[in-house]
Structure 1
């Protein structure tokens, strides 16, 4: 058995031809009285959570993208999932309605479906869902990226991240970990009585850093403004106003070069603590960084990789970190005292 769409698409077909075939299936779904871009669909769990906490003979309702189909005629094994996980489903022609079976025949890889059924484990030990009702949630008109190679073109990968995410589990995991890490940073600071604030994105003077700003014009106020290059000045005004611990984790914009390590639009954490000094903030940053590394990276040794994924060096975050005078570091590298 091989993974294939219900109605196999020729690998030699052009994208335009594939889209035309899928549009025909779209029309046939509508002829069956099925809305291919349906409405609300309530689920009881997700594919990933179901597989992680699996038990037989449980009624479930799940939804996901159709990722693989193994068609054996009157019986079908398929895989559905999302960025957080996937699970196998089983359809039998006698086990679903004629309309549902006809709808299945019009499905392709990449379509989103919802299924209702009961859990069971196959003879080979694979957690699965026996489907008794199938709902088409969204018909995909464009084919997915190659199953095994994903998005090969680097430019496409970074400009059309959704294509990379649907075909590359590692990329999807980076997004998930990043989201959880940002939430953990907020929790870490909240536990230490830091107050999260939001300061203006549009500023009359681009301050707080030395960088070229993006410029815009406010029609209602009749004035030139810039997108902020840093939140520093407004955060310090909050200290003047009486707040003693504040932080902002938000976007900054700098109209400068662009590379894999330098993006004109980026997220930055900036925090201030009244009554503290350099050592206060250094201790906090050191503690927070080590906490995040242990929670999300499995330890304090971090592999630093190049653009191709090759490990170039291993960074040891073991505390205490080296602390040195800025002037001394410059003198050490430059070989002279420029100050």
Structure 2
């Protein structure tokens, strides 16, 4: 960190956690005294935790980085897991294999939620668990607040949506939703590209709120001295591209509508809009139907869904 950089200031403690914060802050100060940079820096890795699990072989010299998600203290032997979005890897730390200061560093100053760089050699424990025999540790970031409960995660729905990072820490299902969404968007772009659609980006700030019947968000452009609107739809600009000579265009991007809000209705949302010259609504309807079927088969493996029939029985059609 350069001379102008200051340590991040955590949010004020909530009632009941001030003692825990004080303990972790004291560990933070001890790390600084020992010469460790507690808030980030470069760490080159050979594998991710999940990637190493998939490509595991004994006797590899590896460097991985991740969050400490579990630890088991057994005197002179410590087991802990480092995790990232793709998986976890167990690490084995023994007082005989590392200098005393390295062992003491983890034993006394590392908590669940901290980020570590781990260097060592892969092996399989007597119980058959792929692991890393640790030879060196690097503190990458010190967590000042505890992680959500390992088994129950974040149960408060309001916290889930307002502090999504807490939900992602403990909820594999939420992480999979994020990953699946990214894959689906990438596949939509690939699919339309194969149909010779050109992806474009049209203005987010528009002088006229058009393309849909919705209330816009209003703003003001200081340099131009005139009002603007966050777009409610990209339609008008996409059609101008057809006028310019492109025959197939689409945009997969954000739109903004200053209306109601709920778990299922967000004023800021992602929308696909596509246009094609020399076609009609049936051409576009067929394209969208084929796209949805393609996505369902690609990511769900089937076009069948489970639903309840008239008698309330779950059926698959």
TM-score of the superposition, structure 2-length normalised? 0.90
Q: 1:125 is matched with which residue? A: 128
CA shift digits 1:174-227 (9 cap, x unpaired): 001111111111111111111110000001111111111101111111111110
Is the Cα contact below 8 Å between 1:250 and 1:267 reproduced in 2? Answer: yes
Tell me: CA distance 1:130–1:182, structure 2 relative to 1, closer, same or farther (3 Å).
Answer: same
Change (3 A) 1:145 1:71: same
Quote the residue 1:196 is aligned against.
199
User: Aligned-pair distance for 1:312?
Assistant: 10
CA contact (8 A) 1:48 1:87 kept: yes
Deviates further, 201-210 or 287-296: 287-296
What runs of 5+ residues in structure 2 fail to find an aligned partner?
Answer: 1-14
In the alignment, which of 260, 272, 276 is matched to residue 273 of structure 1? Answer: 276
Write out aligned runs for 1:1-339 (5 A).
14-105=16-107, 106-302=109-305, 316=317
**1 CA distance for matches of 2:41 and 2:59?**
28
- The separation in 2 between residues aligned to 1:16 and 1:295, in whole angstroms, is 49
- Give every structure 1 segment of 4 or more consecutive aligned residues whose post-TM-superposition deviation is greater than 3 Å: 302-305, 311-316
State the 1:315 CA deviation.
Answer: 7.8
Q: Give the deviation of 1:279 after TM superposition.
A: 2.0
TM-score, scaled relative to structure 1: 0.85
User: Hey, what's the Cα distance between the residues in 1 that align with 2:70 and 2:184?
Assistant: 31
Residues 214, 291 of structure 1: alpha-carbon distance in 2 compared, 3 angstrom cutoff? same
| Aligned-partner Cα distance in 2 for 1:251–1:296 | 23
Worse-superposed segment, 90-99 or 216-225: 90-99
Query: How many Å apart are 1:38 and its aligned residue?
Result: 3.5
CA distance in 2, matches of 1:43, 1:61: 5
Instruction: Tell me how far apart the structure 2 counterparts of residues 67 and 314 of structure 1 sit (CA, whole Å).
Output: 40
Offset, 1:37: 1.6
Q: CA deviation at 1:314?
A: 7.0
* Aligned-residue RMSD, C-alpha: 1.8
Distance 1:29 1:314, change over 3 A: farther
* Structure 2 CA distance for aligned equivalents of residues 290 and 21 of structure 1: 54
Offset at residue 296 of structure 1 (A):
1.5
How far off its partner does 1:313 sit? 6.9
Q: Secondary structure at the match of 1:301?
A: coil
Whole-angstrom distance in 2 between the partners of 1:109 and 1:302: 40
User: SS at 2:46's partner residue?
Assistant: coil
What's the offset of the Cα at 1:60?
1.0
1:323 maps to which residue? Answer: none
